Amino acid sequence: MSTYKKLYNHIIENQNKFYKLSYTYVRNKDDALDIVQNAIVKALENYKSIKDKNAINCWFYKILVNENLLFLRKKNKEIKGELVEKDLSYIENFNQNIDFFEKIKFLPTEVQTIIILHYFEDLTLADVAYITDTNINTVKTRLYNALKKLKVELEGEKI
């Protein structure tokens, strides 16, 4: 099977996962759909750069995460400190995780990315390191420190 066909099938089979990942970043249906669409276009335009056909999943996640981070950086420049009202009308699919996402939003974006990719997308820490262009030991350290902070935060709420 050609690389293009394999990539195309991967995108079709996992489109809901990709949307959910983007939604966790931007919390807006239309923005999440636009981000996924942009990532798909970039992936299809650059599919020839895939060196290992078995790494398509990580390769596409890398593009998708970068598109989400790019969107957030642009959005932060546009709002210049204004409070943005989030579109929560499509949150019903994420109710079981919304409390968790509220808990991690105080963490730096790169740490949120590690947590989301590892725990919600079930990617290995090696895959997360590849996607985020980070050394695996750095990923482990950031994850460990973030989990310690989350534990303190959650214990503080129980009091």
Ramachandran assignment for 134, one of left (phi > 0), alpha (psi -120 to 50 degrees), beta (any other): beta
The number of residues making up the chain comes to 159
Predicted TM-score (pTM) of this structure: 0.73
Per-residue pLDDT at 82: 40
pLDDT at 155: 75
The burial class, CB within 10 Å (0-12 / 13-18 / 19+), for 108 is: exposed
Report the pLDDT value the prediction gives residue 97, as an integer from 0 to 100: 52
Distance CA 61, CA 14 (A): 11
Calculate the alpha carbon distances from 151 to 7, 16, 38, 148 in Å. Answer: 39, 30, 36, 5
Give the pLDDT confidence score for residue 88 in this predicted structure.
37
**What is the Cα 113 distance to its own chain's centre?**
5
Strand boundaries in the chain, DSSP class E: none
Q: Which amino acid is at 143?
A: L
Domains present along the chain, CATH in parentheses: 3-158 (1.20.140)
One-letter amino acid of 3: T
The CA distance from 129 to 140, in Å, is: 9
On whether the CB atoms of residues 51 and 130 are closer than 8 A, the answer is no
* 47: enclosing H helix or E strand: none
Q: Which residues contact 130 (CB under 8 A, 6 or more apart)?
A: 55, 58, 62
Least confident of 2-6, 89-93, 101-105: 89-93
What pLDDT is attached to residue 99? 63
